[in-house]
Amino acid sequence: MQLYIHTRGTMVRVRNRSFHISNGEEVRMVSAHRVTSMAIGNSCMLSSSALLLALKHHIPVYLLDGIGRISGQVSGTGFTNHTGIRRQQVLQKDSDWSKRYITDLIVTKLQRQQVHINDLLDGMAHARSTEAVYFIRSVDEVVTALTNNTQAGELIDTSVLSGLEGQIARNYWGLLSSGLPAGFQFEGRSRMPATDRFNAALNYLYAILGSYVENAIIQAGLDPHFGFMHADGYGSKGLTYDLMEPFRPWADKCLTSLIIRGLLKETHFQVNEDEVRINADARRIIITGWNDFLEETEWLNDRQVAKKNHFFLLATGLSATLLAQINESNE
């Protein structure tokens, strides 16, 4: 599990070789053996003994800013001994292999977006609207074309691939908005700052998703900064953004479910003139909903796998492939 500490004034200490988490009279104990990563908000406190316990159990600790984005991390030395794999990441940038790999990630993302829209609009009056039918058909056509091109060895540049994905995304967000209650409908994506309730919540959930993906990347011995599609400039975490792509529709679906079920309400947001923010109750609801969502299973390589394990399996699969490339080149 990821231990996500975000409530102002929360203190994490160590007691009986476990994490002792307290905020006023509210106290809970969490065994270090149950924790895979820890994320600490900027208004929370972590004792040095708790940090040492995390490092002892190879638990990466992520430091979050005021809106839940990762500002820094503390990891044990065990995460820095994979220089060969990380060098291979750099060497594969813009290679034919990396283009095929990114194409597969985007195909998975598009297919999950299609499933989400189908599920969301199923039974609604506009489920068979021209826009919905066009979206479903366009995803089918793009996925088929990308798959056929890859199988035929006709590789697509990542910039072209990103453009195709962006065209579909515009229709996707429009249809998603149409399936939401009026108070949560929106006009396209707005990031920082968010200009509507849906995007304010989604930005927060994407930040949480990023911490899960980055944790898996580090545990797999990869460098989160060296991606294949996203920019790898100073401070950018290109691989984290790359591997987030197929999982973004999961976050979209989780948030949509919280809204439609009435768990996330308009009153959970602070609407200002130029920005919309979520409050502490919204954060709690989103985190709880996300953790529950990840307990569900989804097919992976002909078997049902808990969604929470997909991140690590994707990262370790990439790491194993890069290692195999190294071994092959050394033969």
Q: Are residues 314 and 278 in the same domain?
A: yes
Q: Are residues 19 and 121 in the same domain?
A: no
Tokens (6 digits) for 262: 């009435």
DSSP string covering 44-65 = -EE-HHHHHHHHHTT--EEEE-
Residue in the block written with tokens 């200009």: 195
pLDDT of residue 79: 46
Q: Are residues 93 and 30 in the same domain?
A: no
Q: Are residues 300 and 325 in the same domain?
A: yes
Q: Which of 58, 79, 100 is the last residue of a domain?
A: 79
Q: Are residues 63 and 87 in the same domain?
A: no
User: Nearest-5° angle of CA 123, CA 125, CA 130?
Assistant: 110
Tokens (6 digits) for 319: 């790491």
Tokens (6 digits) for 141: 């056509």
The total number of structural domains that make up the chain: 2
Write down the pTM of the prediction. 0.80
pLDDT of residue 41: 82
pLDDT of residue 176: 95
**Range of the structural domain that residue 29 is part of:** 2-79
User: ω before 60 within 30° of 0 (cis)?
Assistant: no
Residue 166, class by beta-carbon neighbours within 10 Å (0-12 exposed, 13-18 middle, 19+ buried)? exposed
Q: Are residues 256 and 120 in the same domain?
A: yes
Q: Are residues 22 and 115 in the same domain?
A: no
Q: Are residues 169 and 275 in the same domain?
A: yes
Q: Which of 79, 113, 133 is the last residue of a domain?
A: 79
Q: Are residues 97 and 53 in the same domain?
A: no
Q: Are residues 60 and 104 in the same domain?
A: no
Q: 132: part of which helix (H) or strand (E)?
A: helix 130-151
- Strand order through the sheet with 61-64: 2-5, 37-40, 61-64, 70-74
Q: CATH number, domain at 17?
A: 3.100.10.20
Residue in the block written with tokens 């594969």: 92
Tokens (6 digits) for 102: 């990114």
3 and 44 in contact (C-beta within 8 Å)? no
pLDDT of residue 233: 56
Q: CATH number, domain at 150?
A: 1.20.120.920
pLDDT of residue 19: 95
Nearest CA to 285 among 251, 259, 309, 247?
A: 259
Range list of H helices, 179-271:
197-219, 238-244, 248-260
Q: Are residues 89 and 66 in the same domain?
A: no
Rounded mean pLDDT for each run of 10 residues along the chain, 331 residues in total: 81 94 92 84 90 86 74 63 83 92 96 94 68 90 91 83 90 94 93 92 95 90 91 75 98 98 97 92 95 93 88 91 85 62
Tokens (6 digits) for 24: 């006023």
Residue in the block written with tokens 């697509």: 156
Q: Hey, which residues does 298 pair with through a beta bridge?
A: 305
Q: Which of 50, 79, 108 is the last residue of a domain?
A: 79
Residue 240, class by beta-carbon neighbours within 10 Å (0-12 exposed, 13-18 middle, 19+ buried)? buried
Cα–Cα distance for residue pair 165/157, rounded to 1 Å: 12
Q: Are residues 87 and 170 in the same domain?
A: yes
pLDDT of residue 235: 59
